[in-house]
Structure 1
Amino acid sequence: MRTIQVVNVRWFNATAWYGAFLSRLLREAGHETLFIGLDGTQSFVRAQEWGLEPVALDLNTASPLRLAALWGRMRALVRDFRPDVVNCHRGEAFVLWGMLRKAGGRFKLVRTRGDQRLPRNNIPNRWLHCHAADAVVATNSVMARHFRDVLQVPEQKIHTIYGGVDTAVFSYDESGRQRVRAGYGYGAGDFVLGLLGRFDRVKGQKELIFAVADLYHRRGLRHVRLMLAGFETATSRAEVEAWIDEAGVRDITVITGKREDVAACISAMDAGVVASLWSETIARAALEIMACGRPLVSTGVGVMPDLLPHEALCAEGDVTALADLLEKAVRDEPWRHWLQAACVQRMKTLRERDFLDTTLAMYEQA
């Protein structure tokens, strides 16, 4: 199968990762795949690093002259590459691909929506999703229901496809666990709670820090330790460290910064935490934690209710509810083992092969 993956995302966020990882899986499986992105952006550079040979198009332009040139380049690409499928992972150029499809393009048009924002119920969106697109992919059930119930997309066009995990990279690593724990001074009796994610208000680092402080200072769990496996982006490290000091957990908290051995750091955790306040429509970090065999608790945002049992979820932004959930994970060993088994079982349908096979089946059906 010949596909064009349109990934006009500036940052290498979960949406960009979803499109790039799918492109890599398709190419590795022998499907000719053209990755289109924005020249010089994080996602474009990562595609180059992955050997995807990305093609640069000015897909986010609003200039009439540039739009005319873009339209010509899109038509030429379709003519020369002859794709069976064009898969748009962002909305900025989706209307142009929709127009090209309706102007006689001999390809199936797929719109994958991994964005946290629900599309507005207006005439352009209804035309694009109901008529221009041959299939619409949601990365979580909330988005799928919105397409069906609000935009009135025909149910047979809607597909919910979760992102897969590269299990060659993300799996439990016992030797890595011991090395990382020794490096951070963790003892055999220490219980490490870990959050994997960039420093950004959306990720809920502040709420987790104060929830762990509650466990340590007021609930008697003096063996709890906190690992923040991330680095500054929208939120600075200094701001995160100020929260740590305010909560009085400096001595039990580690900030890893950027590391290459992410799977080893995850393996060093005794339980993973997603404390996000919103978003998590793809939840790449959650999938990686689960792939490493760690029990995971989370707020109930985005795709998380699709991934975890209800008992492992709490309300977003509620520090006390998060602390209650963490306390259960720390104190209740049988429950923790049950949750770990549930995460392992869930991952049996979320591997990279499942991601690829489900996507290919959707392409064939579209």
Structure 2
Amino acid sequence: MKVLHVITGLDAGGAEIQLAMLLERTRHEASVVSLYNAGPIAERIRAAGTPVHDLGMRSNTQVSALYDLWRLIRAGRYDVVHAHLYRSQIYARPAARLAGTPLVLTTEHSIGETHIERRPMTRRVRALYLASERFSDATIAVSDVVRERLVAWGVPDRKIVTIPNGIDVSSLAFDPAARARVRASFGIPADAFVIGTLGRLDPNKRVDLIVEAAAPLLGPGVKVFVVGRGEDHDRLVARTAALGASDHVIFAGFQADTAAMLAALDVYVAASVQETFGLSVLEALASGLPVCYTTCPALDGVSTGRARQVVGDPVALRAELQRLRDAPAPRAVPVEVFDRYGMGAVAGRTDQLYAELLAARARAGSRRAGRALQGAGGAATDLPSPTPLSPTPAPRAEAS
């Protein structure tokens, strides 16, 4: 089966990394189109043997990109076009349908309560999303929260399948040598207590809340380590200076080796206003870290003593950080979490979904042909009716 994945960009981010891991495990022949900004994740995908094409879009409203994408899809004669992230959905779904692609679907990674991929949910944004959704056969929601938000937005529930994001648990295992190397490279004392967070620097992540909560605790033996880049960087640096914490807060920028960065930490904090899944929290847990988080749909209904939910308040977060500093928790990976989120099982479920949807479309086409034959006076044809998609099983963790 030939599958084309279309994604808005391939800079470092949760959806982009999920796509890279999916491609490393799919059993199908895959290719990727990035609408623009084929960044570091594109290099990872290419290095693993999957071709990546950069469409080179220069603006959100570059209508000529629709033609370029249609021509590329038509030439490739793909069985499946799978779109990721808002802008690629708007362009790829109609382009794929116009090119005659048998199966068109999308994964919805980032629909929040008020924003979709950091853009406000205006009437225009919603109208474009729902108009392009009509060209799609199905949408994968990465969590039940995402599914509920999609239905509330107007996507038919019957067209949504929940398949969670996945984690390669073994690749995130704690490495003492990496811990020492990262700390030495950033001037962090080997015996310091390090509070960390990883991800795109944007206001939703509330890195400033983490710094404010930690500021009274900081000193030579307590540091905050911020890994990531984004539009909120300069504001965060200024806010850190205003809190008098600049000497003890390290902004590390983008770092490709997530496992090594997590190894350098003693506690992980995720202080987002809203999340659709909470991938970074799972990555931290896979590294054996204790976690403080404000919201993480991936942990809804999962009981684990390794992660504690806190309100988005600096005083409450500070109390939890102080408790962990005074009584550091040993590293341990919670099996109860990763029974659900092994990446191999997630990729297998996605591949299975392609096959189910294509089979359902073939059966529907046969029924239409049978009805046409009857209407023309031919013999009645007893054709099987399509079976519904099988329910999504809970993925099992990969063997380490």
Output the TM-score relative to the length of structure 1. 0.77
1:292 corresponding residue in structure 2: 287
The share of aligned pairs that are identical, in percent, is 22
How much has 1:20 moved relative to structure 2?
3.0
2:229 counterpart of 1:226 = no
Which letter maps to 1:273? V
2:193 corresponding residue in structure 1: 191
2:348 corresponding residue in structure 1: 357
How much has 1:265 moved relative to structure 2?
3.1
Cα offsets for 1:69-106 (capped at 9, x unmatched): 5433332222xxx32x2211033353554446655835
1:264 corresponding residue in structure 2: 260
Which letter maps to 1:315? V
Query: What is the distance in 2 between the residues matched to 1:64 and 1:187?
Result: 53
Query: What is the distance in 2 between the residues matched to 1:11 and 1:261?
Result: 14
Query: What is the distance in 2 between the residues matched to 1:172 and 1:344?
Result: 15
2:211 corresponding residue in structure 1: 209
1:137 corresponding residue in structure 2: 140
Larger Rg: 2
Which of these residues, 47, 52, 55, is aligned with residue 54 of structure 1?
52
Task: Work out whether residues 8 and 36 of structure 2, in 8 Å CA contact, stay in contact via their aligned partners in 1.
Answer: no
How much has 1:303 moved relative to structure 2?
5.1
Cα offsets for 1:208-265 (capped at 9, x unmatched): 111012445xxxxx7862232425432346x544433433444544444455654233
Which letter maps to 2:53? V
Cα offsets for 1:105-155 (capped at 9, x unmatched): 3522211111243577866644644x5322211223322102234425134
Task: Work out whether residues 162 and 355 of structure 1, in 8 Å CA contact, stay in contact via their aligned partners in 2.
Answer: yes
Task: Work out whether residues 207 and 319 of structure 1, in 8 Å CA contact, stay in contact via their aligned partners in 2.
Answer: yes
Which of these residues, 227, 238, 243, is aligned with residue 239 of structure 2?
243
How much has 1:341 moved relative to structure 2?
5.5
CA RMSD of aligned residues (A): 3.6
SS at match of 2:87: coil
SS at match of 2:172: coil
Which letter maps to 2:352? A
SS at match of 1:133: coil
Mind listing any 5+ residue stretches in structure 1 that lack a counterpart? 217-221
How much has 1:312 moved relative to structure 2?
1.4
Mind listing any 5+ residue stretches in structure 2 that lack a counterpart? 358-400
1:219 corresponding residue in structure 2: none
Q: CA 1:63–1:229 in structure 2 vs 1: closer, same or farther (change >3 Å)?
A: closer
Cα offsets for 1:28-65 (capped at 9, x unmatched): xx420011123553254554344421134467774555
Cα offsets for 1:247-290 (capped at 9, x unmatched): 34445444444556542331232211112334x43544333222
Which letter maps to 2:197? L
Q: CA 1:152–1:71 in structure 2 vs 1: closer, same or farther (change >3 Å)?
A: closer
Task: Work out whether residues 268 and 291 of structure 2, in 8 Å CA contact, stay in contact via their aligned partners in 1.
Answer: yes
SS at match of 1:164: coil
Query: What is the distance in 2 between the residues matched to 1:306 and 1:57?
Result: 41
Which letter maps to 2:345? D
2:100 corresponding residue in structure 1: 105
Which letter maps to 1:77? G
How much has 1:194 moved relative to structure 2?
1.4
